């Protein structure tokens, strides 16, 4: 190693969305930035999360659309489509990673490959194979080291029978049957993905409903859609034990649901359950950075327990979304630059990219009732929306929750086509206090899915145009 | 006929979007409403326009996506897909029309089938086969009788060789070659539709660019995409003469482009050129309703030259969009109910549902420069957008035009995936004065196409994250 330490304004640990975005933001504002990555440039989002899974889900949605028309009958054709899907996924990863390399060069951000480790609150060592190869100093340090799967006691990943989402991205065969442990967004996304390719899917969730962070109605309707689509959904269920049957190339799972045991035989098990902050080897104790329940503790300005050290993204918990990391990263940079900014977690949309999509922003109906007492609920089903009818995408609805007195929008929840895009109308309305009455004054193009948002606002006062009263 | 005349608060002539929407609105507010339809319930939009063409374009977009993968090789398979597409279109029409029947029943709107004809400004006769079958009286009358194709001198529709968009919906074979006369939104939509099915397409436009009502850059880029996709685009071109060659089952067209004549042989010609208000048989003179250049004249409250008679939708011209008719209809009803409302045509999005989509709201760049002098332009290409990369939909861009001093959004123009949905972010921003700085404060979900709108706002001041500087 060079014995001299290199000095920067800001050192960022981790090159995922919580790392590269604040790196670019602060470089654009004149700071010198070092970015440290121990594994894949772009982190989980670009290599193992958002981007590759979106490619898989998008291609699967085509298969669902096309296959009832009988285009891919024999199993070999479906397998060939699966392999092409995997290739497209690799191609998408290559494009976004090479794009990111260009952005870092554009903004003169110095990239270091290796493991970061604090020696004190303003110094980070970079190690490769245990050896220190660089010593960096900076006034500010931002930790965006991401998260890793938390282990479950009763079943362990082996990469062959019991896999995680990283293993899915390397799959070469379509499993005939699959149990997915974890009925959150990612579990549901993988359930619809594998179902599209003909896999028998069992979705196992320990809470009393899947998608427990979303509005109860969306989660109940989604369960209904999965069940209709022959995905077996088991709530309040946990894995008691697992046993690999090498001879039959299968796994025996012992499940427990409300005290009742059940044994199921399955080809593979995919674990997409809990995650914890990836802080291994960071030497947080040397920088006095405190953790709580597996994540780094931060305040609303994204500051850790050590004033010059910030942390953002998956490593601080509170949901695992790339755009949450972007947003927290922006807030951290604003604070570093002397502006007092705080994160507002209610402004963050939650998106599910399964088939169909779902999304959520602000308060759920239950939360809104708890906080405001009485609220208004406007709803519009996609089956009454012209574009949905024209395109044969009629599942789901838009639901707008508003406050009674002024019609302020408190929450928007969408299940159905383009839900992950339409949610931004809710985001804009909530942020800039565009109430239900104001939404009614807008001109929405016909036919669009966005009209369902408009009619949801109209329905608040029973004025929806294209809907039969229930 | 019953000799008694029937009395309503409001008579509406035409059951398309400009008719049924105000019918429902005014019925919801307590007016008694008669709705008169001479042809298909739901008008052009439900039967021959928005809904059926969206089904065709959506199915065609699947074909474009799937066919490079080689699923539909032989011509018979493509023809079978074409026929299925046509069936889906018929199914969509049936669903929306039967939905509309239910809505009219729900709101106790009295539907009359027959031809409407004024006898005086407060009385309308309904005729069937020349005979008067009903006599209706009302305090207010709303004309929403739609538009019909204007004839071109040099070439006449015969329904076989020379067809219009209605004939397309009845097609049973895919033409090997097709000339489309009219390079506006509908001409471009049909060009991408037929190209998807392998037809050799020539698009003929008399102006110096296609999509002449949209932002110049969008129109130039769209021409580039069509050309790349092997659609022949001829601007500043008109048809001088046409001759049917029955033996060769083809048409000889003589075209003139900037003084140069060219003869082309083609299998079919589709005319989607100009339209004029459908006022035949309405007896407008008996109600003193004035027309101008083929359309009924109205003021911004949608009032005609006779104070108790309003007109909205295609019959008043100014663009042919269902949502313009909805909007004008709402304004008319508000005025009937005593509120003083005026139409703001800048608030109306323009949408093109071809492959790719395009959309526009507010001022084009040229108009903005003319009106404001200097303006800011923020642009973001979809090829730098994560979702576009993940889904392989990378053509196009978002362009946001804003005023220099306060960052007020003056116009938004989008070419690319989901353009027709994303445009509503622009609609909301413009209506409620959410400027470029305010858009930058929103949290956009990742990965979404909506992020291109966000980055377009960031680019206004050179702050886009995911874009290489040009």
The torsion angle over the Cα atoms of residues B283, B285, B291 and B297, rounded to 10 degrees, is -90
Tens digits of per-residue pLDDT, A182-226? 999 999 999 999 999 999 999 999 999 999 999 999 999 999 999
pLDDT at B2: 53
pLDDT at B404: 96
Indicate the pairing of strand B115-120 with strand B291-292.
Answer: unpaired
Output the DSSP codes for B179-230: EEE--SHHHHHHHHHHHHTT-EEEEE-SSSSSSTTS-HHHHHHHHHHHHHTT
Q: Is A379 on the interface with B (CB under 8 A)?
A: no
Percent with pLDDT over 70 in chain B: 97
Q: How far is A171 from chain B (nearest CA, A)?
A: 18
Distance in angstroms (rounded) separating the CA atoms of residues A371 and B239: 67
| For testing contact with chain B, the best of A421, A431, A442, A455 (most B CBs within 10 A) | A421
| A446 is known as an active-site residue | yes
Positive or negative CA dihedral for A39, A42, A43, A46?
A: negative
Query: Torsion-angle region of residue B462: left (phi > 0), alpha (psi -120 to 50) or beta?
Result: left
In terms of Cβ atoms closer than 10 Å to its own Cβ (0-12, 13-18, 19+), residue B76 is: exposed
Distance in angstroms (rounded) separating the CA atoms of residues B220 and B210: 8
CATH superfamily of A356-459: FAD/NAD-linked reductase, C-terminal dimerisation domain (3.30.390.30)
Facing residue for A443 by CB, picked from B21, B347, B445: B347
Distance in angstroms (rounded) separating the CA atoms of residues A167 and B240: 64
What 3-state class would DSSP assign to A176? coil
Provide the mean pLDDT of chain A: 95
User: Please, where in chain B does CATH 3.30.390.30 lie?
Assistant: 356-459
CB contact under 8 A, B445 and A321: yes
| For testing contact with chain B, the best of A428, A431, A453 (most B CBs within 10 A) | A428
Provide the mean pLDDT of chain B: 95
- Residue of higher predicted confidence among A291 and A3: A291
Percent with pLDDT over 90 in chain A: 91
Output the DSSP codes for B254-302: EEEETTEEEEEEESEEEE---EEE--TTS-GGGGT--EETTEE---TT-
**Backbone phi, then psi, for A135, in 5-degree steps?**
-130, 120
Facing residue for B444 by CB, picked from A54, A424, A448: A424
Which are the contacts of B370, defined by CB distance < 8 A and separation ≥ 6?
none
Mean pLDDT of A158-178: 95
For B453, name the nearest residue in chain A, comparing CA atoms only.
Answer: A424
pLDDT at A469: 57
In this predicted structure, the answer to whether residue A470 has a pLDDT above a threshold of 50 is: no
Contact residues on chain B for A390, CB-CB shorter than 8 A: 50-52, 54-55, 58, 92
pLDDT at B335: 98
Q: Taking the mean position of all CA atoms in its chain, how far away is CA B281?
A: 25
CB contact under 8 A, B88 and A392: yes
Mean pLDDT of B52-79: 80
Output the DSSP codes for B212-225: TTS-HHHHHHHHHH
In this predicted structure, the answer to whether residue A1 has a pLDDT above a threshold of 90 is: no
Contact residues on chain A for B345, CB-CB shorter than 8 A: none
The pTM score is 0.96
Output the DSSP codes for A235-262: -SEEEEEEEEETTTTEEEEEEEETTEEE
Output the 3-class SS for B5-23: CEEEEEEEECCCHHHHHHH
Q: What residues of chain A, 332 to 361, have a C-beta less than 8 Å from chain B?
A: 347-351, 359
For B320, name the nearest residue in chain A, comparing CA atoms only.
Answer: A446
Percent with pLDDT over 90 in chain B: 91
Please check whether residue B436 is in contact with residue B460, taking contact to mean a CB–CB distance below 8 angstroms. Answer: yes
Please check whether residue A196 is in contact with residue A202, taking contact to mean a CB–CB distance below 8 angstroms. Answer: no
The domain defined by A6-149+276-346 carries CATH number 3.50.50.60: yes
Mean pLDDT of A56-69: 81
Q: Taking the mean position of all CA atoms in its chain, how far away is CA A231?
A: 21
pLDDT at A76: 80
Q: Is A98 on the interface with B (CB under 8 A)?
A: no
Tens digits of per-residue pLDDT, B194-224? 999 999 999 999 999 999 999 999 999 999 9
CB contact under 8 A, A347 and B51: no
Distance in angstroms (rounded) separating the CA atoms of residues B10 and B26: 8
Please check whether residue B316 is in contact with residue B296, taking contact to mean a CB–CB distance below 8 angstroms. Answer: yes
Tens digits of per-residue pLDDT, B395-406? 999 999 999 999
Tens digits of per-residue pLDDT, B87-100? 999 999 999 999 99
Mean pLDDT of A460-467: 91
Mean pLDDT of B108-135: 97
Q: What angle do CA B346, B352, B355 make, to 5 degrees?
A: 155
pLDDT at A3: 65
pLDDT at B152: 84
Please check whether residue A7 is in contact with residue A138, taking contact to mean a CB–CB distance below 8 angstroms. Answer: yes
Positive or negative CA dihedral for A222, A228, A229, A234?
A: positive
Counting every residue written for chain B, the total comes to 470
Give strand ranges (E) for B309-408.
309-311, 350-352, 358-362, 375-381, 397-403
Distance in angstroms (rounded) separating the CA atoms of residues B105 and B98: 11
What 3-state class would DSSP assign to A422? helix
Name the pLDDT band for B470 (thresholds 50, 70, 90). Answer: very low
Tens digits of per-residue pLDDT, B423-446? 999 999 999 999 999 999 999 999
In this predicted structure, the answer to whether residue B112 has a pLDDT above a threshold of 80 is: yes
Mean pLDDT of A242-256: 93
Task: Name the CATH architecture for the domain at B162-273.
Answer: 3-Layer(bba) Sandwich (3.50)
User: Please, where in chain A does CATH 3.50.50.60 lie?
Assistant: 6-149+276-346, 162-273
Tens digits of per-residue pLDDT, B341-380? 999 999 999 999 999 999 999 999 999 999 999 999 999 9
């Amino acid at each position: 190693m060079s014995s001299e330490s290199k000095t920067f304004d800001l050192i960022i640990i981790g090159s995922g969305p919580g790392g590269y975005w604040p790196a670019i933001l602060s470089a654009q504002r004149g700071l010198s930035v070092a970015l440290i990555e121990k594994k894949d440039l772009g982190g989980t989002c670009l290599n193992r999360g958002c981007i590759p899974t979106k490619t898989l889900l998008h291609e699967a949605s085509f298969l669902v659309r096309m296959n009832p028309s009988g285009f891919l009958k024999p199993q070999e054709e479906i397998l060939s489509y699966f392999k092409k899907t995997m290739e497209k996924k690799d191609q998408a990863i290559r494009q976004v990673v090479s794009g990111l390399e260009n952005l870092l060069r554009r903004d003169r951000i110095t990239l270091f490959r290796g493991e970061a480790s604090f020696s004190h609150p303003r110094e980070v060592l970079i190690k490769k194979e245990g050896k220190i190869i660089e010593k960096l100093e900076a006034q500010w340090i931002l930790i965006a080291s991401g998260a890793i799967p938390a282990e479950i006691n009763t079943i362990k990943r082996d990469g062959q029978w019991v896999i995680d989402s990283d293993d899915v991205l390397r799959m070469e065969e379509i499993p005939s049957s699959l149990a997915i442990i974890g009925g959150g967004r990612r579990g549901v996304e993988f359930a619809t993905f594998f179902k599209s390719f003909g896999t028998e899917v069992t979705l196992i969730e320990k809470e009393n409903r899947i998608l427990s962070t979303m509005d109860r109605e969306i989660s109940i309707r989604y369960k209904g859609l999965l069940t209709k689509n022959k995905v077996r959904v088991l709530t309040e269920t946990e894995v008691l034990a697992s046993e690999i049957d090498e001879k039959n190339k299968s796994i025996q799972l012992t499940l427990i649901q409300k005290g009742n045991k059940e044994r199921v035989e399955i080809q593979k098990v995919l674990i997409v359950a809990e995650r914890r902050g990836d802080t291994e080897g960071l030497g947080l104790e040397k920088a006095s950075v405190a953790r709580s329940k597996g994540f780094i503790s931060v305040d609303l300005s994204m500051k850790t327990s050590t004033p010059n050290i910030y942390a953002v993204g998956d490593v601080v918990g509170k949901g695992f979304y790339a755009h949450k990391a972007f947003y927290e990263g922006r807030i951290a940079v604003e604070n570093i630059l002397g502006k007092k900014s705080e994160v507002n977690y209610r402004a963050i949309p939650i998106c599910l990219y399964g088939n169909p999509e779902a999304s959520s922003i602000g308060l759920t109906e239950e939360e809104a009732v708890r906080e405001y007492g009485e609220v208004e609920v406007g709803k519009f089903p996609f089956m009454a929306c012209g574009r949905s009818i024209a395109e044969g995408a009629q599942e789901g609805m838009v639901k707008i929750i508003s406050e009674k007195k002024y019609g302020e929008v408190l929450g928007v929840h969408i299940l159905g086509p383009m839900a992950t895009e339409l949610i931004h109308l809710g985001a804009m309305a909530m942020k800039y206090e565009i109430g239900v009455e104001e939404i009614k004054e807008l001109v929405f193009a016909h036919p669009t899915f966005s009209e369902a948002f408009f009619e949801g606002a109209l329905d608040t006062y029973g004025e929806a145009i294209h809907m039969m009263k229930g």
